[in-house]
Chains A and B, each alone.
Chain A
Amino acid sequence: MEPTLSRSVETNGKIRPKQRLSIDYVGYAMIAPGYLIYFLFIFIPLVVGVYYSFTNYNFYSAPEFVGLQNYARLLQDALFGKAMYNTFIYALFTIVPQLFLGLILAVLLNGKLFGRVFSRASIYIPNVTSMVAVSMIWLWIYDPALGILNRMIKVFGIDPIQWLYNPNTAMMAVVIMSIWKSLGYTMIVYLAGLQSIPSSLYEAAHMDGASKIRQFFSITIPMLKPTTFFILVMSCINSFMVFEQVNIMTAGGPLNSTTTVVHQIYLRGFQDFQMGYASAMAIVLFLITLVITLINFKYGNQGDDLDVD
């Protein structure tokens, strides 16, 4: 968002002195409807959410101010700790393979290969379909008795695995599905990054006799650093929001092995009606997102690097 600022200053600077005086009050009218909705349904709820996080609120009686009590309870809540841990594990194991595979696929798809358009579409399609639909499909794939995965490993003489019903494999099963779902996004963003690298760099390296592999490590990887950073930040934020696949496929189980932060917010807020406590969790979630986003602004030069065709 930094380039935005500098650009708007530039635009203002170009205005001639005579025009400087003209103020378009019609601007207020044109912004009003969009801004009002934003203000009512994002800004106010955020402020109110902070307030609720300091209260005991069970939905049926008026909120009662309790200070930092909810946050103190968060620190001692073993289930929330487990959810935090699971969320971190989920993030780690989805993001790393996704970065790696996304980069390789983008590099391959950047070349003039046969069936390039088809490949791009097939890799991206999981990303446009809903998480609910995708979870249903993978529930079927992971089905212990009839699912295709266990039927396939049976061919190799491996006993059926209770993918989603075993605390040791459930999270990994969710992770694998999530990598499949979001790989296309990483690939597309990397593709954009690759296209922004000036081809003259490769030509010069070619003249100097650098091999393709050498070029990849000395030009491609360093030039893609901002893109990688951007994907890393976006994936971190998205990983912290993980809910749908967990709620649908495992309901947080077995033995809480897949419960996540947002899943806990949902359970505490909308099943136990502990709106105050759930709000405290939501605020913690927001703070984590905020820190990640700010790191992105500071080091990532977001937008600058991706503003290419």
Chain B
Amino acid sequence: MGKLRSRSMGLVVMSVVLLAVSLVMLTPFLIMVLTSFKTMGEIQSPTFSLFPKVWHFDNYAEALSRGDWLKYFYNSFVVTIITVVISLVLNSMAGYSFARLRFPGRDILFFSVLIGIMVPAQTTMIPTFLMMKQFPLAGGNNLFGQDGIGFINSYTGLILPFIAGSFGIFLCRQFFLNFPRALDEASQIDGASKFRVFYQIYLPLSKPILATLAIFKTTSAWNDYMWPLIMTNTEGMRTVQLGLTIFRGETNVEWNLLMAATTLVVLPLVVLFLAAQKYFVQGIVTTGLKA
């Protein structure tokens, strides 16, 4: 009896420790949200209180009026959604072919895709930028890619490098490899084409992997900073992550407004994470990778 009690006491202590750790981890977000409701006067006052004396909800409207936020959010949504949809379609199709179909050169093609997993985006960033700039017949360019701006400042420029996914193809292939061979054979007897087998049989069964990939792609597209930073140079093409850095440029940072804007930028992904937590954690556990 005594041993059992000391065991449950241990569990209580550990639960308390974990809860404390969780709160410490959440503290920065808490500070962000609480600051977003304060006035600058309250922020600068020598007496500090964690919670705002008066909750200023209009900070959010004020923050959004500093810059074309409607446009930034629109840009980020467009880029993220198109990236996710296109990469799901292309990667699942390629993954299926690599896993289930036989044709000459398949393994060599797949190996070359694997090389891509080892290439950090930062390595290819300069050539990719120059390619986008000099893309023939785009953005006023001539056939040799001169005289215009190419895909710079365009959704195409923002999206294209993100849908190029070695990782996505690899992930889908691994998933489709585990399907039983009998599935293909049965549908073959029924005379269905390979493409029909893919979208009528395989695709409906691949929700877990598509969800995982969708989450990875959403976070990497929504959260990216470096590529939009390089790729865009006008107000109208900024994404939310670039929008946040406007506040930073000023000498006197208006922390309440910056924190309000940050909250709004963080919110969609936190909501997505909480909604898809099961898939999210599973996706990381099964792949061990983060796109």
Contact = CB atoms under 8 A, between A and B. Distances in A.
Contact of A130 (B128, B193, B223, B288): B223
B164 A41 contact: yes
Contacts of B164: 37-38, 40-42
Contacts of B128: 41, 45
A37 B284 contact: no
Contacts of B25: 122-123, 125-126, 180, 183-184
A119 B22 contact: yes
Interface in B57-88: none
Nearest to A245: B225
Contacts, number: 298
Contacts of A192: 284-286, 288
Contact of B19 (A25, A119, A121, A132): A119
A210 B122 CA distance: 49
A28 interface: yes
B17 interface: yes
Query: Which label, helix, strand, loop or mixed, suits the secondary structure of the B interface?
Result: helix
A130 B225 contact: yes
Query: Which label, helix, strand, loop or mixed, suits the secondary structure of the A interface?
Result: helix
B102 A27 contact: yes
A35 interface: yes
Given A27-B103, A45-B127, A119-B21, A37 B160 contact: yes
A160 interface: no
B14 A129 contact: no
Nearest to B31: A148
B169 A34 contact: yes
A150 to B, nearest CB: 10
Given A31-B93, A34-B93, A34-B94, A121 B277 contact: yes
Interface in B125-139: 125-131
Interface string A16-33: 000000111111101101
A265 B127 CA distance: 12
A5 to B, nearest CB: 9
A64 to B, nearest CB: 15
A120 B287 CA distance: 18
A46 interface: yes
Interface in B251-291: 253, 255, 258-259, 262, 265-266, 269-270, 272-274, 277, 280-282, 284-290
B127 A31 contact: no
A45 B113 CA distance: 14
Give chain A's interface residue range (CB within 8 Å of chain B): 35 or more
A140 B31 CA distance: 9
Interface in A108-162: 108-109, 111-116, 118-126, 128-134, 136-141, 143, 146, 148, 151
A205 interface: no
Given A4-B177, A185-B284, 16 more contacts: A24-B101, A31-B93, A37-B164, A38-B164, A41-B124, A43-B112, A44-B131, A123-B22, A130-B223, A130-B265, A139-B248, A283-B123, A285-B123, A286-B119, A303-B288, A307-B286
Interface of B: 11-12, 14-15, 17-19, 21-23, 25-26, 28-29, 31-32, 35, 43-44, 48, 90-91, 93-94, 96-99, 101-104, 106-107, 109, 112-116, 118-131, 160-161, 163-166, 169, 173-174, 177, 181, 193-195, 198, 219, 222-226, 230, 241, 244-245, 247-248, 253, 255, 258-259, 262, 265-266, 269-270, 272-274, 277, 280-282, 284-290
